[in-house]
Structure 1
Amino acid sequence: MKRLRYSLVSSLLALAATVGGSVGAHAQQRASFTQQFAGSTVLLTTGDTLRGPLALHRNEDVILLTMPDNTVNTLSAVAVQSFAVKAAKRDNNLVYQDFYDTRSGFYRGSPYYDMPPRRLLEKTDTSLVRVFRTYRWNHDKDYSDFKSPAFFEQLSSGPNILLRREALVERVMNNGPMYGGYGYGYGNPYGVPRTSYYREIKDAFYLGLPNGNVLPLRSPKKDLLAAFRQQAKQIEQYAKDNKLDFTDARELAFIVNYANSLQPKQ
């Protein structure tokens, strides 16, 4: 009887490991990601301007714009030149950061030299405006010449613009023995590890070049310094002096603004 029970438990553990592995691989894929904004201004490629509440479907690069008569306009990136959105009060997916500072410089002083970035306030700023622009993109397929329009959030000023794409990633979390995963309890008679999931927003950074191309910053520090090769030492020193993190969106925007300030005037 003991041998039969041991065999059964071993089989169940092997099955759980197999299923857990395949589920884990699936769970790290992008989840559906939609954000709601209380207000927006949308500039179409035709030159027309539309306004209203907006839903951004990030995976599909599509926006749903609610018009004054309550009809809904569905617009893909190919029809949109840029749009600005005002953060919704109750959108838990939003990351509230004051990118106005990084796009236009401080309200007082300059971010390029002696002043470090202002400390980020913890209070949610529901008046925050975020700007998105359309670029033609190869969807990170380095050896593909095919590009299609996609939305990127603008985080810095130009001429080289720090861009961001956010994705909602679903990850697997195994509950081990410390959490009762292998215990003999209700609903888990054989101690099979239980799997749960959590979601997080993952940032992908890019550099929008003056010629309209998009350069991925997969390793932000390495790739950014390579893009500004002649000014790399100055940029690295600026980041060090101001304790700026190349992987933090807000701080990376300050670094890009500084890098732009070092470029020869055209």
Structure 2
Amino acid sequence: MKTLRYSLGIVLVAVGLSLGATTPAAAQQRANFTQEFGGSTVLLTTGDTLRGPLALHRNEDVIRLTMPDNTVNTLSAVAVQSFAVKGQQADRRNYYDDFYDARSGYYYGSPYYNMPPRPRRERVDTSLVRVFRTYRWNHDNDYSDFKSPAFFEQLSGGPNILLRREALVERAVNNGPMYGGYGYNPYGVPRTSYYREIKDAFYLGLPSGNVLPLRNPKKDLLAAFRQQAKQIEQYAKDNKLDFSDPRELAFIVNYANSLQPKP
């Protein structure tokens, strides 16, 4: 029995260490988040176009473009009008989509032992073309008039465009209700572990160039289309569309745009 507990402890320590930070202060904080793509087309504010493999540094709103001569061109959002990417490279070191599912069944007594599986995020589609546009943004500080250029992913058509920003966040999890606090439990497993996941934040890009945050996507979107709110809500209900799902929310925004009076 002692040997079995020792083995389980080794497995769980390895899982806990592979998930990132090990200090309570890092819980629910943004982690450095970089995504790499095999190809891109970048339209600069000067009107020039560049192409090549691209790395998107999300926290800094910076892209690093590898040129044909293997030199690297670093560009901030202020220099970029828009860019399209494809061939996303999966990096399992950055995040763990199915953290709770992976923990289920490791040992009886785990708070996730009999927990139903969480909905999975969409898997990386290397053939998908993703479009990013630059908007001036107050970084969700509603009390500040200062805005700086930032990258937003375009998810719908216009004139009101559904936008998304992804962030990598670190969260804490307790390794069992009977092992509260910090330190290690009897299996040699840290009582508090940390994992990383991607968090979506949605926005509405308005024809004026302003960015409207959709902190509560359903409530805020219906408020933005107040005159058509009942029609939009009924459309979502009839088609079983989820306001928190990126793809389905894009359908809802496209429908909302179709209800707008033509200029």
Normalized against structure 2, the TM-score is what?
0.76
Question: Which has the higher Rg, Structure 1 or Structure 2?
Answer: 1
The verdict on how the C-alpha distance between 1:79 and 1:261 changes in structure 2, with shifts beyond 3 A counting, is same
Contact 2:28 2:172 in 1 (8 A): yes
Residue 252 of structure 2 corresponds to residue 255 of structure 1: yes
1:204 aligned residue (201, 204, 208): 201
Give the partner amino acid of 1:142.
D
The amino acid of 2:55's aligned partner reads: A
Hey, what does 1:8 align to over in structure 2? none
CA contact (8 A) 2:54 2:63 kept: yes
In structure 1, the partner of 2:230 is 233
Distance between the aligned counterparts of 2:163 and 2:52, measured in 1? Answer: 24
1:125 aligns with 2:128: no
In structure 1, stretches of 5+ residues that fail to align are 1-21, 95-121
CA contact 1:177–1:183 (8 Å) conserved in 2: no
Kindly indicate whether the alpha-carbon contact (under 8 Å) linking 1:24 and 1:171 is maintained by their aligned counterparts in 2.
Answer: no
Shift of 1:183: 4.5
Once residues 66 and 73 of structure 2 are traced to their aligned partners in structure 1, the CA distance between those partners, rounded to angstroms, is 6
* 1:170 maps onto 2:184 in alignment: no
1:88 Cα deviation after fit: 2.5
Amino acid at match of 1:172: A
1:265 correspondence with 2:262: yes
1:194 maps to 191
The DSSP-based 3-state class of the residue aligned with 2:240 is coil
1:42 is matched with 42
Q: Within the alignment, does 1:246 sit opposite 2:246 as a pair?
A: no
Match of residue 82 from structure 2: 82
* Aligned with residue 219 of structure 2, among 214, 222, 239: 222
The structural deviation recorded for 1:226 is 0.2
Secondary structure at the aligned position of 2:169 is classed as: strand
Aligned-residue identity in percent: 86
Q: Secondary structure at the match of 2:192?
A: strand
Q: Is the 8 A contact 2:163 2:202 kept in 1?
A: yes
Residue 177 of structure 1 deviates from its aligned partner by: 5.1
Q: After superposition, what is the alpha-carbon deviation per residue over 1:37-75, rounded to whole angstroms, capped at 9, x for unaligned?
A: 000000000000000000000000000000000000000
Residue type matched to 1:225 in 2? Answer: L
Cα separation, partners in 2 of 1:172 and 1:259, compared to 1, 3 Å: same
Instruction: Tell me the distance in 2 between the aligned counterparts of 1:126 and 1:146.
Output: 36
RMSD of aligned Cα (Å): 2.3
Gap change, CA 1:183 and 1:144, over 3 Å in 2 = closer
Give the superposition deviation at 1:157. Answer: 0.1
Check conservation: 1:165, 1:203, Cα contact below 8 A: yes
Is 1:213 the counterpart of 2:210? The answer is: yes
Q: Secondary structure at the match of 1:63?
A: strand
Q: Does 1:138 align with 2:135?
A: no
- 1:194 shift after superposition: 1.6
Aligned pairs, how many?
213
Q: Retained in 1: the 8 A contact 2:39–2:52? A: yes
Kindly provide the amino acid, as one letter, of the partner of residue 73 in structure 2.
N
Report the equivalent of 1:153. 153
Normalised to the residue count of structure 1, the TM-score between the two structures is: 0.75
> Hey, what does 1:110 align to over in structure 2?
none
Letter in 1 for 2:134: T
CA distance in 2, matches of 1:58, 1:183: 37
Q: Distance in 2 between matches of 1:215 and 1:149?
A: 15
